[in-house]
Chain A
Amino acid sequence: MLFNSLQFAFFLPVIFLLYWYATRQSVRLQNYLMLAASYFFYACWDYRFLGLLIFSTLLDYFTAIQMANSTRQNQKRFWFWLSIAINLGFLGVFKYYNFFAASFADGLSLLGLKANPATLQVILPVGISFYTFHGLSYVIDIYNNKIKPERNFVDYALFVSFFPLLVAGPIERATHLLPQIQQPRVFDYTKAVDGLRQILWGLFKKVVIADNCAVIANAVFDGSANYPGSAHVIGAVFFAFQIYCDFSGYSDIAIGTARLFGIELLRNFSYPYFSRNIAEFWRRWHISLSSWFRDYLYIPLGGSKGSTWRKIRNVFIIFIVSGFWHGANWTFIVWGLLNALFIIPSVIARTNRNNLDVAASGKTFPSFGELASMIGTFGLTVFAWIFFRAESLGHAGRYLAKIFSRSIFDQPNLQKTDVLLTTSFFILCLVLLEWRGRANQHALADVGTKWRRPVRWVFYYGLLMAICVFAGSNQQFIYFQF
């Protein structure tokens, strides 16, 4: 069940009304309802993997209690590593087995040896990387005595499976979400309206911008040989907007949906393309994953403490792992490596903690320097996205060769001019609206207080109309494959 599907348009109001009318007397009932709704939501994807989700939930629920009950450190450590091993084992089998098997065979062939490792015909269970990371953060926090285990299975299961975040995040922390699940929720008109506004904005980004950008980006990436370098630049830029609007659109819908139920999820994006350097970009892009890696990998490795070499090592590790988290392909690893290379100069120069505020804070327009640094940062991310989108390293190489060829000065000759023009117009609208609202949680957050109702509603109707008329051909959310 996609967020941008008709099924979801029926599912959400039904659950909303049941939640606030039929079960509002009891938080326990509300949680039962939400858990059932979440499992139904997941089963709509593929009911066969519901068992895996429930098993993963039971595993972390059980091992967390066992850790808390352990009287000896060895015992606690056993339960901790058991959980980690099984969680990562699932990820390894479903997501990485074929990659490792093929890479092993490739490695042996380089040495002149031949191996035919068995590959598995496995389907990647949707959301496995996300709910596994939910569980891992919970187990690690219990092990580190940061939180106490949740004894109520329904509450814990809802923390893992809450449907707005189940298949593509934001990756929540038990410290943030579990207390909200345990406490009674009160309907808040302002939050609910803002949630709807965020859903509308997320839908616009996904359906109008991302899905139409995909038409151009796919045409260029899939038919690279037919286009000159100039079209490759356009294809890469459109992919940059596609992935941003696809994923941040999903996150907006997820966060907005959760707000309808009185639950606040972690923020996942904060206008990343207005970043003035790569370090800032990574504080603003997929925030819940970046902060997860920061807290559970980077800091335990020593973080930015210690020698320069240690810092550089830690940066490389975190970005390689982050790349690998996205998918079992060398392209993602190179994408991670590139980002590490981009960020290392600022780590060495200790400028990575600069630019903590929004760009041109308190001003309408950025200075020339800010604008130049934003464009430069955007250029670097677009360069890295080419590896992220390419099918293989060879594909990425050929793509870049086209960009750095003389044909960059040729006419792009893209066939779908109408899609190109309308999407460019909507990208411009996106940039202007996001720039306008860059100090807020989401681009339309202050619309409710700053715009009069008639203006506001005309704007909402306009967005709805754009969604209905200019919806691109239905594309899966990119991050579902991770």
Chain B
Amino acid sequence: MKKFLFHIGCFVLPLLVLAYPADLVLSKYLKQSHPYSDEYSVWNAIYEGKLNAEILVYGSSTAWVQVNPQSIADSLHRRVYNLGMDGHNFQLQYLRHKQVLKYNPPPKLIIQTLDALTLQRRPDLFNQDQFLPYMLFNKDLKNATANYKGYKPVDFQVPLVRYYGKQKAIRTAAELTLPTIGEPPVRVLGFQAQNKVWNNDLSAARNLMEKYTVQMDSASIQLFDHYLQECREKHLQLVFHYSPEFIVGQRFISNREDVIALYEKFSRKYGIPFYNYSTDPLTRDRDNYYNGLHLNKQGASKLTSKLIHDLQQEVSLNRCFN
């Protein structure tokens, strides 16, 4: 029996010793890749404290593909970074916010992009591999993702466990160890314009159901309220910006007005400027969109210009930069 346990120990020991360094190496190379809407480049900037921005754009994909930080920076002469997170609602946008404050100097202004789905909860951890290189011993990530189907506590505590069966991630990291030229990042300052034309996402959705009703999540609403309060306490200036859906897409969401009313309520409660472009002419031109919810490159450029214009008019903003 002793001999058996000794041999088991000898066999397992190198695995235990090598697990942590292997995890570090794997994570290091994986961070240099650009899959999952290039979320790694944003996470890297956050965790390495390299955001270096006075203005941050928060939101989901409606921030990521629609608000061009470079244009804002050029016009307002401020450093801007877009933290739009593809596919995720406020629960994980808030995680990003917390990590920003933990590893970076606080921004002076947050442009909070809102859309119909911001306060709806999704059960799955979309693009879950985007968290892989940052997970080990990361309590914030563990707590924020605990209620999602995806990772188990052990994934955050034991090196390499979370890489089990992650063929794609491991292959990506392995390829990057080779002396080849890596692909350039697809996001610039966190933004990625979508050079796309109208597709049939909306008609496919309408074939599935007549109308879509947003299920507002009370926990997300509470968290959002808490976040706004926290920003006020920390003197972080906010503006709300409601992402303009294509006019036909607006009609597809049955309780859209209720959702916007809730945002307006928060706007009044905390005195936050609210830019709602829902009735803007750009929402009537399908050429500005690639689906019912997302503007393409042309639309994003128009929207950003409007946003810049409104920001320039905002009297309170001058105070926060002085």
Contacts and interface: CB of A to CB of B under 8 A. Distances in A.
Nearest to A17: B5
Contact of B1 (A6, A187, A472): A187
Contact of B3 (A189, A460, A468): A189
Interface string B133-164: 00000000000000000001010000011011
A311 B170 CA distance: 56
Given A6-B154, A457-B11, A472 B165 contact: yes
A474 B11 CA distance: 26
Contacts, number: 33
A468 B165 contact: yes
B4 A189 contact: yes
A193 B7 contact: yes
B4 A192 contact: yes
A472 B167 CA distance: 9
Nearest to B1: A187
Contacts of B1: 20, 187, 189
A366 B160 CA distance: 43
Interface in A19-51: 20
A207 B167 CA distance: 13
A471 B165 contact: yes
B4 A187 contact: yes
Interface string A170-195: 00000000000000000101001100
A123 interface: no
Given A457-B11, A460-B11, A473 B165 contact: yes
A113 interface: no
A6 B161 contact: yes
A471 B3 CA distance: 31
Contacts of A471: 164-165
Nearest to A196: B8
A468 B163 contact: yes
Interface residues of A, number: 20
A457 B154 CA distance: 27
B160 A468 contact: yes
Nearest to A470: B167
A57 to B, nearest CB: 31
A208 to B, nearest CB: 10
Nearest to B168: A418
A110 interface: no
A470 B165 contact: yes
Contacts of B170: 469
Contact of A193 (B4, B152, B164, B165): B4
Interface residues of B, number: 16
Contacts of A196: 8
A8 to B, nearest CB: 13
Contacts of B163: 468
A381 to B, nearest CB: 29
Interface string A467-482: 0111111100000000
B75 to A, nearest CB: 44
Q: Count chain B CB atoms within 10 A of each CB in A207, A460, A468, A474 and give the residue with the most.
A: A468
Nearest to A473: B165
Interface in A158-172: none
Interface in B152-194: 152, 154, 160-161, 163-165, 167, 170
Contacts of B161: 6
Nearest to A469: B170
A131 to B, nearest CB: 30
A469 B167 contact: yes
Nearest to A460: B11
B125 to A, nearest CB: 15
Interface in A181-234: 187, 189, 192-193, 196, 207
B141 to A, nearest CB: 19
Given A6-B152, A6-B154, A468 B164 contact: yes
A269 B164 CA distance: 28
A269 B163 CA distance: 32
A459 to B, nearest CB: 12
Interface in B53-97: none
B182 to A, nearest CB: 20
Interface string A363-376: 00000000000000
Contacts of B160: 468
Nearest to B170: A469
B71 to A, nearest CB: 38
A196 B11 CA distance: 12
Contacts of B167: 418, 422, 469-470
A471 B168 CA distance: 11
A422 B152 CA distance: 27
A192 to B, nearest CB: 6
Given A460-B11, A472-B165, 5 more contacts: A189-B1, A189-B4, A422-B167, A468-B164, A474-B165
Interface of A: 6, 20, 187, 189, 192-193, 196, 207, 418, 422, 457, 460, 464, 468-474
12 contacts: A6-B152, A6-B154, A20-B1, A187-B4, A189-B1, A189-B4, A192-B4, A207-B165, A468-B165, A469-B170, A470-B165, A473-B165
